[in-house]
A and B are shown apart, each in its own frame.
Chain A
Amino acid sequence: MTFYKPLMTPEKKQELQELALRVREHIVRLSTDGGCFTGASLSCTDLLVYLYADFLNVHPGNLQDPERDYLFLSKGHDVPALYGVFAELGFMPKERLDNHLKTSDSIYWHPNRSVPGVEFHSGSLGHLPSVALGVALDARLRDQNQKVIVITGDGELNEGTCWEAVLVASAHKVNNLTFVVDRNHFQANIATEELIPLEPLAPKFEAFGAAVRRIDGHDFAALDEAFRALPFADDKPSVIICDTVRGKGLPSIERRADRWFCNFSADEVTELLKELHSQEATTLTSETLTVR
């Protein structure tokens, strides 16, 4: 039995946009004093905001409930977006973000389960599609009807294990599992299509046996329409390809191959926080291409 809520109202959309802006502020504040993977975090911010604030049945009160929905973040380097959402929605105190990269806490460049809401640690790419598959298989064994979502990057799709998980999910007709691709068109150093071209991407997943939709990953109404329609087929896993912009929200780093890992100066952070609101690019002087 699927319950369809009304299409997204303008009020709801505005609420999500405001929440996404606050999450992006957290990401910018984490991009200093050692830095973080800023661009990849900004590309999936709207997706994570939508899922946690409006779609998934998971909240600070039901994290132990075996029938909650599961979200697995396989592209773990975008953890600032996840933690920003968690801080805003009460999974963790906002102050905990001040402990970024401190050995007194466990807030570092990849997710780990010391933070409530993180279902599994990640950082090594191509792992969580299979972990999510296992959880989805168990949910089906137990006749539970929760949704299991796994978010991968697009560069991450270079790893063969991502495709093995789709093949196996298709073979076993795991329709409660959804692979979501944050298609921001870049991997660490370079545009995906210049290195290991992925397009045409949707037909690849279809050829592997999945039911696929492709949407604008920054459009809350489009996200809502796609996720409410899950599963796309009764006998297949689903795939949602979210076209996004790496660095979304900061014009000065948007779509820039050289702004992967960012470690800004304090002054730059001040300017970038203004940029989030004004959408006017600022001048950056910090080192680019820091690689971790």
Chain B
Amino acid sequence: MNYEQLIHETALADERLIVMTAENRALIRNLPGPLGRRFIDTGITEQTMIGAAAGLALRGRVPVVHALATFLTLRAFEFIRTDVGIPHLPVKISSFVPGFLSDGNGPTHQAIEDISLMRGIPGMTVFAAADEQDMLAMLPAIWASPDPAYVRVNTRPATYQHAPFEMGKAEVVSEGKDVTILTYGMLFEQALVAKDLLTQAGHSVGLVNLRSLKPLDTEAVLKVVRGGSLVVTLEDHFQTGGLYSIVAELLLENELTAKVLPLALKEKWYKPGRLSEVLEYEGFTGQHIARRIGEKLGDRAEQFAEKTKVQENIFAE
């Protein structure tokens, strides 16, 4: 099963579903034939596509819209907020190459404020998939919901066997006494590597795949905070407005404090290149993440290198 097969099956079973794209057909290339008039390609017109999706939703349809994450969330932002958000229409946004996944495109294509923007719209739900398996687990519930939804699409193969998806629930991979990594989206793969390295270094490491940024699994996050470990917010997003901000807001609301290490893009776009090079340059490979966390936990660099076996970067393009 892949994305295209899932949306195809869902559309056949539910005639409300309309597949739309602003000429981004990467994931839905073979659907024009089978879906006929329920496949609508509006050309390179993100704003018009979102407006039209709102019109379709007004008539009872569930449009699933496709385009690059930046052009959807930035160019069409007002259309999402005003035409989808205000009337709370069930438009489902499939956002292609978000975060680091736009690798060599440059800042014009880097959606690293998308979580911040989308979660700011009242009633909008926001999701990020760790990998293809994780995404396929969450999409049926997202498309079936009456709410507007934003999904960070991720078709990278899974390196972890995910639990079934439950709306509003995070996936707790492990609990840790020393440190807990909270993350979402494609960096989950690197977080798994970092977790292994830190465990080898003698730390008790927790890892949570948030899956849903909004609604947030506040219970899971508060449990981590109350456990007293160092909390790491790991994200391919600006440090402002994303997971770090979400955790900060939650802490304030609950009159709690915690030791939090944000690993995010602070006031900068990332350097474009091949994906593995980007992660290396920006310090987001599993090795770099482990080293940065290790430093915070008091591991000196040479100690850390000694304690963890030197591993090849297992990241593949």
B44 touches A125 (CB 8 A): yes
A123 touches B109 (CB 8 A): yes
Min Cβ gap A158→B in Å is 4
State the total of A-B contacts with C-beta under 8 angstroms.
89
A and B contact pairs by CB, cutoff 8 A, 24 listed: A34-B104, A76-B108, A103-B271, A103-B272, A103-B273, A103-B278, A103-B280, A103-B281, A109-B104, A110-B106, A121-B106, A121-B107, A124-B70, A124-B108, A124-B109, A155-B44, A159-B45, A187-B23, A187-B44, A188-B23, A195-B23, A289-B29, A292-B97, A292-B102
Interface centre among A101, A122, A155, A156 (most CB of B within 10 A): A101
Please judge, given known A-B contacts A108-B105, A121-B106, whether A189 and B272 are in contact too, CB under 8 Å. no
Contact with B along A272-292 (1 / 0, CB 8 A): 000000000000000001011
A109 touches B44 (CB 8 A): no
A106→B273 CA distance, assembly (Å): 8
A156→B271 CA distance, assembly (Å): 26
Contacts of B24 in A (CB 8 A): 188, 291
Decide yes or no whether B26 CB sits under 8 A from chain A: yes
A159 touches B108 (CB 8 A): no
Contacts of B278 in A (CB 8 A): 103
Contact with B along A154-198 (1 / 0, CB 8 A): 011011100000000000000000000000000111100001100
Min Cβ gap A125→B in Å is 6
Residues of A within 8 A of B (CB): 34, 76, 101-103, 106, 108-110, 112, 121-126, 155-156, 158-160, 187-190, 195-196, 289, 291-292
Please judge, given known A-B contacts A158-B23, A291-B24, whether A101 and B104 are in contact too, CB under 8 Å. yes
B44 touches A102 (CB 8 A): no
Decide yes or no whether B132 CB sits under 8 A from chain A: no
Decide yes or no whether B259 CB sits under 8 A from chain A: no
Decide yes or no whether B71 CB sits under 8 A from chain A: yes
Which residue of chain A is the closest to B317 with respect to CB atoms?
A: A34
Min Cβ gap B184→A in Å is 23
Min Cβ gap B235→A in Å is 20
A124→B168 CA distance, assembly (Å): 33
Contacts of A158 in B (CB 8 A): 23, 42-45
A160 touches B48 (CB 8 A): yes
Contacts of B25 in A (CB 8 A): 188-189, 291
Contacts of B47 in A (CB 8 A): 160
B23 touches A121 (CB 8 A): no
A108 touches B44 (CB 8 A): no
Interface centre among B45, B104, B105 (most CB of A within 10 A): B104
Please judge, given known A-B contacts A101-B274, A103-B277, whether A110 and B109 are in contact too, CB under 8 Å. yes
Residues of B within 8 A of A (CB): 23-26, 29, 41-45, 47-48, 70-71, 75, 97, 102, 104-109, 271-274, 277-278, 280-281
Which residue of chain A is the closest to B27 with respect to CB atoms?
A: A291
Min Cβ gap A265→B in Å is 15
A255→B195 CA distance, assembly (Å): 49
Contacts of A187 in B (CB 8 A): 23, 43-44
A189→B67 CA distance, assembly (Å): 13
Contacts of B104 in A (CB 8 A): 34, 101, 108-109, 292
A34→B317 CA distance, assembly (Å): 10
B106 touches A34 (CB 8 A): no
**What are the 3 A-B residue pairs with the smallest beta carbon separation, nearest first?**
A123-B108, A196-B43, A291-B26
Complex partner residue of A123 from B41, B97, B105, CB under 8 angstroms: B105
Which residue of chain A is the closest to B47 with respect to CB atoms?
A: A160
Complex partner residue of A160 from B29, B45, B97, B280, CB under 8 angstroms: B45
A112→B110 CA distance, assembly (Å): 14
Known pairs A103-B278, A123-B108; list 18 more (Cβ under 8 Å). Answer: A76-B108, A101-B273, A103-B272, A103-B277, A108-B105, A108-B106, A109-B104, A121-B108, A123-B106, A124-B75, A155-B44, A158-B43, A158-B44, A158-B45, A159-B44, A160-B48, A190-B41, A195-B23
Min Cβ gap A234→B in Å is 33
Min Cβ gap B40→A in Å is 11
Contacts of B23 in A (CB 8 A): 155, 158, 187-190, 195
A51→B21 CA distance, assembly (Å): 35
Min Cβ gap A121→B in Å is 7
Which residue of chain A is the closest to B270 with respect to CB atoms?
A: A103
Contacts of B281 in A (CB 8 A): 103
A101 touches B272 (CB 8 A): yes
